[in-house]
Amino acid sequence: MTEKRASGEAGVARAGAERRRHVRYGLACPITIHEREAAAGAGRAAVLGASRTENISDGGCYVVLAGNRALRRMARKGGERGLAVQVALKIPRQTRSTYMLEAVQTTARVVRTELGQAAADELAVGLQFEPALDLQLD
């Protein structure tokens, strides 16, 4: 019986790995996440969090945010999945003689959240870019 569980778990892991369409890179990019639309009369969309990506691909990114009570409340309720947000990224670019951060803005959807493990006020967020981007990371 133990062997069946092991093979079943491996099958699940393989199936999850096969679902990925984009290569992930362990690249720390500055990121700011905003509400998709400003509240009526507010003028600008509220900032939901700012941090650095833990990893990124053309299809999305994984970010750990600290000190964000609103997102943590949503994560506890499970109500944030599917939430559409605006994302502002800065992608590092360099040549032999230059280094710069390329600004990229896009829409994304929250597809995963986890309460942080390193600190009580952390929230890890998985974002899926809509549409997928061509970040030319390779």
- The pTM for the full model equals 0.75
Q: Which residues pair with 95 in a beta bridge?
A: none
Phi, psi of 111 (to 5 degrees): -115, -10
Tell me the pLDDT band of 76, cut-offs 50, 70 and 90: low
Q: Supply the pLDDT for residue 134.
A: 96
CA separation for the pair 136, 25 (Å, rounded): 11
> How many other CB atoms sit within 10 Å of the CB of residue 119?
9
Tell me the pLDDT band of 68, cut-offs 50, 70 and 90: low
Q: Could you report the per-residue pLDDT of 83-125, keeping only the tens digit for each?
A: 888 999 999 999 999 999 999 999 999 898 887 666 667 888 8
Q: Hey, what CATH topology would domain 23-129 get?
A: Thrombin, subunit H (2.40.10)
